[in-house]
Amino acid sequence: MLHTNLSVNSENHLTIAGQDTVTLAKTYGTPLMVMDEDRVRQNFRVYRDAMNQYFGGASRPLFASKALSCKYIYRLAGEESVGIDLVSSGELYTAVAAGFDVREAFFHGNNKTDGDIAYAMDCGVGHFVVDNLTELDRIDEEAGRRGVTQAVLLRLSPGIDPHTHAAITTGQVDSKFGIAIETGQADEAVAYTLNKKHIRLDGFHCHIGSQIFDITPFCDAAKLMIAYVAGVKNKFGYDTEILNLGGGFGVRYIKSQPILDYADFIRRIAAFIDEEVARSGIKKPTILMEPGRSIVADSCLTLYTVGGTKEIPGFKNYVSVDGGMPDNPRYALYQADYTVCLASRAKATPDFLCTVAGRCCESGDILQENVPLPKPERGDILAVLVTGAYNYSMASNYNRIPRPAVVAVKDGTVTPVIRRESFEDLIRNDL
Ligand code: LLP
């Protein structure tokens, strides 16, 4: 199986964390997202322990909660002593509602509104990751008005191309995110920030992209950022306290992709950073990372009920399910790879090559193409694997389809964590 938390039981049903997915689908309805809580916790711990061991000091992961934002996940992050990366007041509101200590939160985004800035300060968010100087002015003003000093990092764009999908690449010079090092604007921003009365500059951030399997772009980014830190020490006498290297480690969605050993990646990046730090003679900053996908993706799968198949001889076959782009827009957006299997007859011969289509009134509403399955029948349960990251968080109500329910499984018990949206929910804000 694709990941160790997946298996097939004696009834020929797919299981996750030992739970029969067909039983879950019948009990909770479909589409249904099922999360393996132990897997999420284990992923948090891998990062937390490896960063503590290899980077040392106060190094810790910040969960990039854009991958999945709900009260349940913030509670787990808190219990596992992991910080968070937020990108909107909505994510912040959710974290606060979950009782998360938002002093451990880093507020991102390339356009924080005045409302975001004020609300984040009301909540006591630990750090803003400042994207541009207009925003810095606003944060300084707001902090001044409140008589406080606000800690910030400056987001820099290091000019690295990580060779991943263009829509999820973020570290290049012409990115909409961050301040470019190459153009000299980063230096200007540092000088400007150090002169701000109500701001404490704690360091720098970069993020090069997402779903990256190669360690080289991370080391390239670290090298550049450390050289930058050494440069600002020389130019401004400024000691960087925090260097946040962002997220981006790849996850196995299909068999041809590897399962990365994140602890080993961190060990190798840490060794590389130590050499660079020694070479440049700077004081080693606290290293932070912001994994999102690699924390939640493999903990989850999505279950659908098959409506039927459509065969077009000489062309293609379709199988239609009761979800689609409203709960998972990633194929429509990025042609993202997924593994699909027939959960209700997991080991039957996969001799029916088909396109898995959603139920929306839109040809692009496809979950995956060219999938070999046992020929599905109406009522079969179909599973799309590894859907924990950027699925629920990117879900929509297109065609007024309610968002699915999410349940967590742990030690043989099932806990609902997000209720299925009702029709009433759909019209709640309609006047
Ligand atoms: N930090 C920053 C500043 C980010 O922008 C991101 C992701 C992360 C951390 C987390 O990266 P991860 O470890 O999850 O790769 N919707 C796209 C992914 C967009 C990623 C945006 N930024 C998708 O579904 O593939």
Per-residue DSSP letters for 375-386? ---TT-EEEEE-
Collect all residues with Cβ–Cβ distance below 8 Å to 92 and sequence separation of at least 6.
Answer: 86, 102, 105, 107, 119, 120, 123, 125
Residues in the chain: 431
Q: How far is CA 123 from the centre of its chain?
A: 23
For residue 359, the 8-state DSSP code is: S
Q: Can you tell me the distance from the alpha carbon of 225 to that of 273, in angstroms, rounded to the nearest whole number?
A: 10
- Alpha carbon distances (Å) from 179 to 130, 167, 207, 258, 290: 9, 19, 12, 33, 19
Chain position carrying tokens 């909505």: 90
Say what the pLDDT of residue 171 is: 62
Question: Does residue 133 sit in helix, strand or coil?
Answer: helix
Closest Cα to atom 6 of ligand 1: 247
What's the gap in Å between 99 CA and the centre of ligand 1? 24
The phi and psi torsions of 146 (rounded to 5 degrees) equal -90, -5
The pTM of the full predicted model, rounded to 2 decimals, is 0.97
Verify whether ligand 1 is closer than 6 Å to residue 171 (CB atom): no
Say what the pLDDT of residue 189 is: 98
Q: Pick the catalytic residue from 206, 300, 360, 361.
A: 361
Nearest CA-CA partner of 47 in 216, 252, 269, 220:
269
Beta bridge partners of 218: none
Verify whether ligand 1 is closer than 6 Å to residue 132 (CB atom): no
Mutate to test the pocket of ligand 1, among 293, 328, 390 (most ligand atoms within 8 A of CB): 293
Verify whether ligand 1 is closer than 6 Å to residue 260 (CB atom): no
- For the CA of 212, the closest atom of ligand 1 is 15
Q: Are 242 and 203 in contact (CB under 8 A)?
A: yes
Q: In the chain, which residues have pLDDT < 70?
A: 163-172
Verify whether ligand 1 is closer than 6 Å to residue 131 (CB atom): no
Q: Are 143 and 121 in contact (CB under 8 A)?
A: yes
Q: How far is CA 301 from the centre of its chain?
A: 15
Q: Can you tell me the distance from the alpha carbon of 183 to that of 186, in angstroms, rounded to the nearest whole number?
A: 8
- For the CA of 389, the closest atom of ligand 1 is 24
- Cα-based angle 107, 111, 116 (whole degrees, multiple of 5): 55
Say what the pLDDT of residue 170 is: 62
Verify whether ligand 1 is closer than 6 Å to residue 248 (CB atom): yes
Strands 300-312 and 316-321: antiparallel
What's the gap in Å between 398 CA and the centre of ligand 1? 23
| 361 classed as catalytic | yes
- For the CA of 165, the closest atom of ligand 1 is 25
Chain position carrying tokens 């009134």: 361
Q: Can you tell me the distance from the alpha carbon of 134 to that of 431, in angstroms, rounded to the nearest whole number?
A: 36
Say what the pLDDT of residue 175 is: 82
Secondary structure, 3-state, 316-352 = EEEEEECCCCCCCCHHHHHCCCCCEEEHHHCCCCCCE
Chain position carrying tokens 């992961």: 61
Verify whether ligand 1 is closer than 6 Å to residue 210 (CB atom): yes
The string of pLDDT tens digits covering residues 369-416 is 999 999 999 999 999 999 999 999 999 999 999 999 999 999 999 999
Nearest CA-CA partner of 22 in 8, 36, 4, 35:
8
What's the gap in Å between 10 CA and the centre of ligand 1? 38
Mutate to test the pocket of ligand 1, among 131, 206, 290 (most ligand atoms within 8 A of CB): 290
What's the gap in Å between 209 CA and the centre of ligand 1? 7
- For the CA of 391, the closest atom of ligand 1 is 24
What's the gap in Å between 87 CA and the centre of ligand 1? 11
